[in-house]
Every structure is written in structure tokens, then in C-alpha cells.
Structure 1
């Protein structure tokens, strides 16, 4: 058995990175991420890319500082499907928490779709605890290019940061 060790780094996601992030969602989703990068320039959010030595993103996600006073809200967390279950999601969440703490904030929150038990198990393993539920709605691009409304129920989770 051969063991492969990836040296990962977290940095700010850039517009140029979006060309390599097709695994993260549709063109509609990536256009939304591009809009979030504009918010990152004003300091309202951090948007991170996790990269191996190639410097090509294999995971991405944001921290929004405007959702709730004094809280970093993690959102749009995604790991390349072929690289899930290798610790990259843990690295991404821990990097987002570090960004949150660097702003002097001591709480991180996120929402996880109730139909995604693997993600919820990850967040629980990292110390997040459920505190509420909320319906979430957004537009999603269908295979034919049209937009459709996506509705889901999310469990809201939080963690006190050391």
C-alpha cells in the first residue's frame, strides 16, 4: 500500500481560480462566488481556496462576517468530489475558523443540509453542535441551463472558538 501525503495551504480565492472550480457547482454558482469575491475586497467576507503544491484549488469556502454580529458564518464549503474523506474538509473548516479568530471573533456557525449526514458528522467531529433548524432556498442551474428553485432544510450548528 502506498501512502500519499498532500501538503495543503489555504489562501484567498481569486477570480482566476474560478476556472479550476467547475467541480464546485454550476456556472450560475460560480458567478455567485465571483460576486462574493467582490465582498471579500471590502472585508465583509473571507473566501478561501485550499490548494496542494500545484496551487490549484481542491476545496473552497467562505466566512461571512455580516450574517450575525460577532460571528463568522461558514458557507459554500466544498471539496473536490474525488478528494473527499482525505482530511481536506477538516483543513478547510479549521482554516476558516483561524480567519474568524484573527478578526477577534470567538464563535463560528454554519448550516448543513439535513440530507447531508457525512458533512454533519464532520462538523460534529470538529466540535460544532446543533442549535436550530432553518429552511434555505436558492436558485440552482438545471442541466438544460435553466434556473430552478432549490429548497432544503438545514440544521444550524455553532462552535465556540478557543
Structure 2
């Protein structure tokens, strides 16, 4: 077996990237991401793209600085399904944590759906600790194109950044 090494970089996600991010979610989800990119222009959030040398995003995710005072809240994290378990999620979270630190903040938080044990294991491996749980809900696009309300319960996790 041959190992393949992929050099990655993290940069701001751009509107032009959305056309190549269909792997991250439905058209509705990508329209929500486009709205968040407008918030990034005002500095309320950072929205990152992780890219190999092709400069085409293979992972994306945001940091919201308005969700909770003094904390960077990671959200909408996604890695291309064909590239999961290759270290890209770790690279994305670490890049997001660096953005948080660069704003002088020392704590990161996130919410992970309780049934998503794979993501939770990643966050725990990266030092996140569960501290609470809460119901959450959002609109998602059904296969027929209609929107439906998705309801779930999330574990809230935090990490002190030093």
C-alpha cells in the first residue's frame, strides 16, 4: 500500500467556492453558507475552506464570534465524504482554533449531534470536553426540494485554547 501525502492550506471560503461544495449539503444549505459569508465580510464570523494544491475546497466550516461572548463557536464543519478519516477534519478544526486565538480569545465551543459518534470522537481526541446538551433544529431540503424541519439533540463541547 502506498501512502498519498496531500499538502493542505486553510483560507477564507469565497462565494465562488460554493459551486464546488455540493458535497457539503443541499442547495438550501449552501444558500445558508452564502448568507454566512456576508457575515464574514463584517467580521462577525470566519468561514474557512481547506484546500489541497488545486485550491478547490475539500472541507469547510465556520467560527461564530457572536454566538457567545468571549468564545469562538465552531459550526457547519464538513469534510468531503470521500476524504473523511484522512486528517482533514483535524486540520480544519486546528485552523479554526488558530483564527480564534488570533482574535485574542482562549476558548472554543461546538455542538455535535448526539448520534454523530464519529465526529464526537474526533472532537474529544482534539481536547474538547462535553459540558451540556440541548435540543437544536434547522430547516433542511428534502429530496423533492421542499424544506422540512430537522430536530435533534446536541452535546455541547468546549476546549480551552492556550
Tell me the CA shift for residue 101 of structure 1.
0.2
CA RMSD of aligned residues (A): 0.3
Shift, 1:88, TM fit: 0.1
The aligned runs of 1:1-162 (5 Å cut-off) are 1-162=1-162
- d(CA) in 1 for partners of 2:124, 2:64: 20
Tell me by how many angstroms 1:144 deviates.
0.2
Deviations 1:38-82 (A, max 9, x none): 000000000000000000000000000000000000000000000
CA distance, structure 2, for counterparts of residue 74 and residue 130 of structure 1:
14
Gaps of 5+ in 2: none
Query: Can you give the 5+ residue segments of structure 1 that lack an aligned partner in the other structure?
Result: none
C-alpha deviation, 1:119, in angstroms: 0.2
Structure 2 distance, partners of 1:9, 1:102, is 17
Aligned to 1:18, the other structure's residue is in SS state: helix
Structure 2 Cα separation of the partners of residues 121 and 115 of structure 1: 11
Q: Which runs of 4+ in 1 moved over 3 A?
A: none
Write the distance in 2 (CA, Å) between the matches of 1:108 and 1:42: 20
Compute the TM-score of the two structures, normalised by the length of structure 1. 1.00
TM (normalized to structure 2)?
1.00
Deviation at 1:6, TM superposition (A): 0.5
Report how many aligned residue pairs link the two structures.
Answer: 162
